[in-house]
Structure 1
Amino acid sequence: MSSENKEVVRRFNLEVIQNGNEDEFRALMAPDFVNHAAPSGMPNGPQSMWNTFQNVLRPALSDLKVTIHDQIAEGDRVTTRKTISGIHSGTLMSVAPTGKDVVISVIDIVRVQDGRYTEHWGINTLSNVLAALAKA
C-alpha cells in the first residue's frame, strides 16, 4: 500500500504540477478533497489546487520542474520533501519577471484513498522566494 500511495503522489507531482496534465489531475483528485494548507478564508477544494499550479506557478515559471528528494509513507499518508524550480519569466503573485532562477522548497503530507488525493497539509518557502524576487 505504501509504495502505491507514493506512486500516486509522484504521479501528481510530475504529471500535474510539472507537466500541467489536467486529465491526470482529475484522475488523482477525490471530489471531496480538502487542502488544509490553503490560506484562511480561501477556497480549499480540488479546483483551488489546480488554480494554484495552472494560474499562479506555471505562467510565472518557465522550465518548471519538480524534484522529489524524499518520500515517506505510513498508512494512508505520504510525506514528500521536494523542490519546485524554474525561471521567473512571468508575473508571480504581483512580482514582475526577473529572469532569475527560482527554487521553492516544499514539505507536504497527502492522505491517499483509493489512489486519489483526499487531504493535503504543507509548508513551503514561497513567501521567502517572493521577498527575494521583490528585492531583485
Structure 2
Amino acid sequence: MDTQLEENKKTVIRFNKEVIEQGNLISFDELMDSGFINHSAPQGTDNSSQGMINTFNNILRPAMPDIKVAIHEQLAEGELVTTRKTISGTHTGIFFGISPTFKKITIEVIDIVRIKNGKYFEHWGINTLPAVLQSLK
C-alpha cells in the first residue's frame, strides 16, 4: 500500500488516541493545520480547530473522564481518511446539560478527514450523539 496513505491513517489514529482519549494539547497543536475547517460543526458554532478542541476537552472529557476511542475500520484515498469508530465512556459529569447518569455511553462515529502535510485540514462526520443524548433524558 502507498506509504503516504498509511502515514495519513496513522495521523488519524494518533489524533484519536492522544487528543480525544488523552486530551493532549501538544499533540493537538502538532496535528492541526492553522486553516482547519470542521464542516460538521453545528451551525452557528466555531468550526475552527479551537471549536473542535473545545468539544473534546470542555464537553466530552468532563462528561466522560474515562473516554476511550475504538477504531474499527479505516479507508484512505488521496488526502482523505475515513474512519469508523466508537467513542465510549461512563457518564459521570454534566453532558450537554444532562446530570450524570453513571450509564455507559457509546457514540458511533464515521469521520472523513483531509490530511495535508501530516495535519488535519478538513473534517466531515456523522455520529449517533443525538440518539445518545435522548437516551440519557
Task: Determine which of 53, 67, 70 is the counterpart of 1:67.
Answer: 70
Once the two structures are TM-superposed, the CA of residue 42 in structure 1 deviates from its matched residue by: 1.3
**Match of 1:10, as an amino acid?**
I
Residue type at the aligned position of 1:98: T
Distance 1:12 1:128 in 2: 25
In 1, the alpha carbon distance for the partners of 2:134 and 2:121 equals: 32
Structure 1 unaligned blocks of 5 or more: none
TM-aligned CA deviation for residue 21 of structure 1? 0.3
- Measure, in 1, the Cα distance between the counterparts of 2:130 and 2:99: 15
Match of 1:114 among 98, 105, 117: 117
CA distance in 1, matches of 2:57, 2:66: 14
SS of aligned partner of 1:62: coil
Residue 62 of structure 1 deviates from its aligned partner by 2.5
Moved over 4 A (4+): none
TM-score (norm 2): 0.97
Q: Identity over the aligned pairs, expressed in percent?
A: 56
* One-letter code aligned to 1:39: P
Q: Does 1:103 align with 2:87?
A: no
Specify which of 71, 74, 87 is matched with residue 90 of structure 2.
87
Q: What is the CA distance between 1:92 and its match in structure 2?
A: 0.3
Q: Any gaps of 5 or more consecutive residues in structure 2?
A: none
**Quick one: distance in 2 between partners of 1:133 and 1:62?**
17
| Residue in 1 that maps onto 2:27 | 24
Q: CA deviation at 1:82?
A: 0.2
Count residues with an aligned counterpart.
134
Q: CA RMSD in A?
A: 0.5
TM-score calculated relative to the size of structure 1: 0.97
Deviations 1:14-47 (A, max 9, x none): 0000010000000000000000000112110010
- 1-side partners of 2:34 and 2:79: how far apart? 17
